[in-house]
A and B are shown apart, each in its own frame.
Chain A
Amino acid sequence: MVTSPTPAWSAARSGLLGDTGAVDASAQINQFLGTHPNSPIYVGNSILTPVGGGSTAWQYHLDAYDIDQPFTMSGTTIGRVMVPMLPVGDGADLIVSLCADSAGNPGTVITQTLIPASWIKQLAAVEGVAGPSSESPTTQYTNSPLATAQFYNVYMGTTTLTNWSFPNIAPGFSQPNGSQTYVNNYIITTGAINGTTFYNNVFSIAFDAIGNLSQAIPQPGMPEVNNGNSATGAVIDPTTGDVTLVVAGGRPSLSGITANVYTAAFDTGTGVVSSWTAQAALPQPLELAGIASWNGYVYVIDGVNSAITADINTVYYAQVQNGQITAWNTASPYPLEIDSMNAVAVSGFLVVFGGEDFAGTNTTACYYAPINADGSLGNWLRGPSVPQSLVDLQFASPSFGSYAIMAVANGQMYILSFGPNGPDTSWQVFTAPTGGVLTAEADGTSDGMWMHYGVYYTSYATNPMSLTPRISVPLPATGLTNGATYHVLLRQANGSESSYLRLHDSTNVFPGNPTVKTRTIGSSTWTAGTTGHAVPIQIYDNSNGSATQGSSNNQVLHTWDDNGARISTLVRTTTPDQRLLGLLEATMQPGPVLNQTPTFVNGLGQWTATNGALAQSSAQTHGSLPYSGLLTPAGGNPDAYIQSEYLACTPGPGSSYTVTAWVYSPTGWSAVFPNLNFYDASKTFISSGAASFNVPAATWTQITATYPVPDTALYLTIDIGESSTPAATNLLYVSAATVQDALGPQLSSVMQINYSSTWPGSNLWPPTGVTVLA
């Protein structure tokens, strides 16, 4: 017998029956001897981007429900899907199916991928502490080295609006429209402008982790007035933890701008600002500059020049020691000459985005530079452009525990994940509450949870923010129909009461507002969720040729062999070195045998015969098994077969089972079948999966077939026998008759590649070793 072509990938599984003295699955050797059909999956371009309005974090749990998210297709090709996914406890394997539409429900499976729990855990920046799904999860950081910025984001929760008022700065004027910063749980405002009148007022405003904003408390005023065009920041001493407020540059009068710099100590326990003192002035006067701090250094970026005739691209930095600035240094100039940009330091990088040039033309550009230990900067690198241009009104950009940066403008919230190995490849967008003039974040009640504040003059909005792991699932499909409805079906393959998967809920997520559907485990009925609610998945095509500066969609992110039988994920940095950080692999195994009596060694078990008789026999045996099951047809019937007990099965779509048996026909028979009968919840017959085999005479022959499960089926039986009216002399011996879930578990591994330093350090290459994480 010849074997050709290369068998599909299949990991070996101990304890599988059959043929203990023979190679029942020669394919498991031969799979290594040829190349497999493969789809490289690139980072690609987003074709379905969630723009949620925020809702309940981790609302859906897959231990109790299957989740269906309909969507309207854009284009004709899918490469991968990103799913916000929180592993709780040990998590669980995840089955992701792309389905056609069937009267609003998921229909025929177009393509399907199984993701092992080990991948979900190792790529997650945060996980849920093991506990029942009836309780909201408590999250904790994983510190996983492969949880790079591409695999998490920060999601916005439901908006709560609260009335609030700002104290009078002057009679009839109570707008905190100066410059501002925030540190720990305080917002600090400096200065204000009312028409042509400038003010030197300073206020501190306390807030907590659960959405309470206190009244603004007046603090010692600035030595000079400030119309809000100065740069205000807070610098934390890395050794003592002391906080120093810094106000640099700005416009103290209508006619001129200043190079003056002032500092004041800030008590994070009481919210009290000490008196202001003058420090070393900037090398030149400037206003509308960006400001950020990191590791005890403060950075002042770009701004308008002293003559108020142009923007500049200088970057000044200084170390703050004991609240003092004695000298300014010049760092690598910023690539653009702009003002009113956002600036923030995160994960060892200084990031600048948005802003406008002196003529008032806005930019969506984003650049970042590594911060060296001495405060100097490395080269500026182009990051992913912001989806819309942003002109900062002297907001301080939150940095969510150094996991992401954020800005709010134009009625939207923009978030870019950032990590020590670089930024994500694109920004996430949420529909934000009306923008405030002050913004801040507070550490939440558990790891990876924050409370964002958007403060206006008469009210403030709060949004719980959740650090959200996002698993990238290779799901290649071509030939789809632009504008048609498809479904992403999410199902957990295993797990337990304390180990499972959770998903976000959000509102107004996708064009057309397709509503999520759920199906209770053990049921075959889909139920629509609340109108307008959806799971914020993201879908990418498989394009690889983008010329967009700052994008990296020409990187291979996954491989997908033999229709998902073997998959891999490559984790790389997004810094210029693009070095490989990790490799995740998974190969499908056959599922466990589900029926109780696959052989007849210990009797007939629950097998029964129809149109014939079943007996244990030693006349013909297979492999080293001492007995087989002998079916003797009664004769005169269309068929004769043996049937197993009822077995619970998972309803479709996306569910299928494989029946396998070795059979021996002394006379030979041209119509031997291994069928599966499917039944509904009341065990009423629905339909059969059927196949027919020509079995040669006196030759043990393996017959096998895989059948999809009907959407309403909850039980199945194995049926093995002969059709085409077998006579009583057409005996059939049966051995090793099994049924297995076609989507078996996976042999998986997660590997980290070790280096002696991180970018832009020296001696990055070659790697120093490999650590197996799972």
Chain B
Amino acid sequence: MTTPTWLAATTGQAAQAGQINQFLGAHSSALVYSGAVVQSSQTTVGSGSVASNGLWIAQQFTTGASQTAIGRVDIDLQPTGVTGAQLSPAVIGIYANSGGAPSGSALVSTLVPAEYFPMFGAYTYVPMPVSGLTANTVYWLVVQAAGNATYYYPWIKSNQTSGASTSPDGVTWTAQSYGLLYKVYDDTAAGSVLFTWEDSGARWTYTSSNAQGTPSTLSEYTAAQVAGDYVFSSRNFAYTNGLLTSVS
């Protein structure tokens, strides 16, 4: 019997044996490094944003001349809610292209809780490890519909006049006359480990490092047994004389 997929518990739900056994074996995982190289991006700010309230939002990009894998994406989402009670996680994925629109199921997707975004400035780092892509080929970076009129994920526009597409249901897409800010990285294994990504994203962690190369922040996400539920923590590490003095 293999190690069960990571699964956090939800109060009021029946306990599962897998929720004990998940700690008793190794999990399949991908590591994303800080040295990954940007292969495609749009970073010049335009005007305004597109809200995820009732709307799927997508931005097309082209893989690099020799790129067949992605390690992570940076995306300029600025959620108006900062807790899970206000806003469900952003579901961000990579899709193949067909007829100028996202097609089929996600090749990879990551759930990113609202609490994670305020740690970053403009661009939020998101683990998105996927391989088997075709170089120099169009794919789509997609944010699923989420939120309501008050709490949602606005994706900031770039200065481009095309590239974005929207959909009310993730099936029927309409091309737009603007682009959106993003960066797509390859999976170069260099530098420090930035992300661990386990059981197809059921659990992922993000580690930032200080100038001395020691961890300064550790964020951890684990999906729970009810859709949309999760456990998320983000801790800061403080040092004195090079020795750890607190985790807060």
Spell out A's residues near B (CB within 8 Å): 1-7, 21-30, 32-40, 42, 542, 544-545, 554, 556, 702
Quick one: CB contact mask for B221-243 with A, threshold 8 Å, 1 for yes? 01010101111111100001101
**CB closest chain-A residue, reference B8:** A30
B11 part of interface (Cβ distance < 8 Å):
yes
- The answer to whether B8 and A35 have CB atoms under 8 Å apart is no
List the 6 closest A-B pairs by CB distance, nearest first.
Answer: A2-B84, A34-B233, A26-B9, A545-B241, A29-B9, A38-B247
Given contacts A1-B229, A3-B224, A23-B9, contact A36 B247 (CB under 8 A): yes
- The answer to whether B234 and A5 have CB atoms under 8 Å apart is yes
- CB within 8 Å of A: which of B191-248? 203, 218, 220, 222, 224, 226, 228-235, 240-241, 243-248
Given contacts A1-B229, A2-B228, A4-B113, contact A35 B235 (CB under 8 A): yes
- The answer to whether A26 and B230 have CB atoms under 8 Å apart is no
B15 contacts across to A, CB distance below 8 A? 22-23, 29
B231 contacts across to A, CB distance below 8 A? 3-7, 30, 33-34
List 20 additional A-B contacts (Cβ < 8 Å) besides A7-B231, A34-B222. A1-B12, A2-B85, A3-B9, A3-B10, A4-B83, A4-B115, A22-B12, A23-B12, A23-B13, A26-B11, A26-B224, A33-B222, A36-B235, A40-B243, A40-B245, A40-B246, A542-B245, A544-B243, A544-B245, A545-B243
Distance (whole angstroms) from the CB of B237 to the closest CB of chain A: 9
A741 to B113, CA, bound (A): 35
Binding site secondary structure of chain A:
loop
A37 contacts across to B, CB distance below 8 A? 235, 246-248
**CB closest chain-B residue, reference A79:** B245
Given contacts A33-B203, A35-B247, contact A6 B11 (CB under 8 A): no
Distance (whole angstroms) from the CB of A21 to the closest CB of chain B: 7
- Contact with B232, one of A1, A28, A34 (Cβ below 8 angstroms): A34
Q: Interface size class for chain B?
A: 35 or more
- The answer to whether A35 and B9 have CB atoms under 8 Å apart is no
Q: List 8 A-B contacts (CB under 8 A).
A: A3-B229, A23-B9, A33-B222, A37-B248, A40-B245, A40-B246, A542-B245, A556-B244
Given contacts A4-B83, A24-B11, A37-B247, contact A32 B233 (CB under 8 A): no
B220 contacts across to A, CB distance below 8 A? 6, 33-35
A27 to B235, CA, bound (A): 18
A553 to B203, CA, bound (A): 38
A28 to B83, CA, bound (A): 22
Distance (whole angstroms) from the CB of B218 to the closest CB of chain A: 5
Distance (whole angstroms) from the CB of A441 to the closest CB of chain B: 40
B226 contacts across to A, CB distance below 8 A? 1
B149 part of interface (Cβ distance < 8 Å):
no
B19 part of interface (Cβ distance < 8 Å):
yes
A25 to B244, CA, bound (A): 31
B241 contacts across to A, CB distance below 8 A? 544-545, 554
Among B222, B228, B245, residue most surrounded by chain A Cβ atoms (within 10 Å)? B245
Among A1, A25, A702, residue most surrounded by chain B Cβ atoms (within 10 Å)? A1
Number of A-B contacts (CB under 8 A): 120
B240 contacts across to A, CB distance below 8 A? 544-545
A556 contacts across to B, CB distance below 8 A? 243-244
A35 to B241, CA, bound (A): 23
A702 to B12, CA, bound (A): 10
B14 part of interface (Cβ distance < 8 Å):
yes
Quick one: CB contact mask for B166-193 with A, threshold 8 Å, 1 for yes? 0000000000000000000000000000
Distance (whole angstroms) from the CB of B47 to the closest CB of chain A: 34
- The answer to whether B14 and A4 have CB atoms under 8 Å apart is no
B115 contacts across to A, CB distance below 8 A? 4
Distance (whole angstroms) from the CB of B214 to the closest CB of chain A: 13
A25 contacts across to B, CB distance below 8 A? 11
Distance (whole angstroms) from the CB of B122 to the closest CB of chain A: 24
Given contacts A35-B220, A545-B241, contact A5 B232 (CB under 8 A): yes
Among B9, B15, B228, residue most surrounded by chain A Cβ atoms (within 10 Å)? B9
A21 contacts across to B, CB distance below 8 A? 14
B84 contacts across to A, CB distance below 8 A? 2, 4
Given contacts A4-B231, A545-B241, A554-B241, contact A30 B14 (CB under 8 A): no
A4 contacts across to B, CB distance below 8 A? 83-84, 113, 115, 230-233
Given contacts A3-B224, A35-B233, contact A42 B14 (CB under 8 A): no
Distance (whole angstroms) from the CB of B121 to the closest CB of chain A: 22
- The answer to whether B10 and A26 have CB atoms under 8 Å apart is yes
**CB closest chain-A residue, reference B86:** A2
B232 contacts across to A, CB distance below 8 A? 4-5, 34
A254 to B13, CA, bound (A): 93
**CB closest chain-A residue, reference B235:** A35
- The answer to whether A40 and B244 have CB atoms under 8 Å apart is yes
Among B19, B85, B231, B248, residue most surrounded by chain A Cβ atoms (within 10 Å)? B231
B20 contacts across to A, CB distance below 8 A? 29
Distance (whole angstroms) from the CB of B74 to the closest CB of chain A: 23
A374 to B12, CA, bound (A): 69
Distance (whole angstroms) from the CB of B116 to the closest CB of chain A: 10
**CB closest chain-B residue, reference A559:** B247
Distance (whole angstroms) from the CB of B11 to the closest CB of chain A: 4
**CB closest chain-A residue, reference B228:** A2
B11 contacts across to A, CB distance below 8 A? 1, 3, 22-27, 702
B13 contacts across to A, CB distance below 8 A? 22-23, 26
Distance (whole angstroms) from the CB of A553 to the closest CB of chain B: 11
Among A7, A21, A24, A544, residue most surrounded by chain B Cβ atoms (within 10 Å)? A544
Given contacts A4-B84, A35-B218, A37-B248, contact A30 B9 (CB under 8 A): yes
- The answer to whether A33 and B8 have CB atoms under 8 Å apart is yes
A24 to B13, CA, bound (A): 8
A25 to B11, CA, bound (A): 6
A544 to B10, CA, bound (A): 40
Distance (whole angstroms) from the CB of B240 to the closest CB of chain A: 6
Among B83, B233, B246, residue most surrounded by chain A Cβ atoms (within 10 Å)? B233
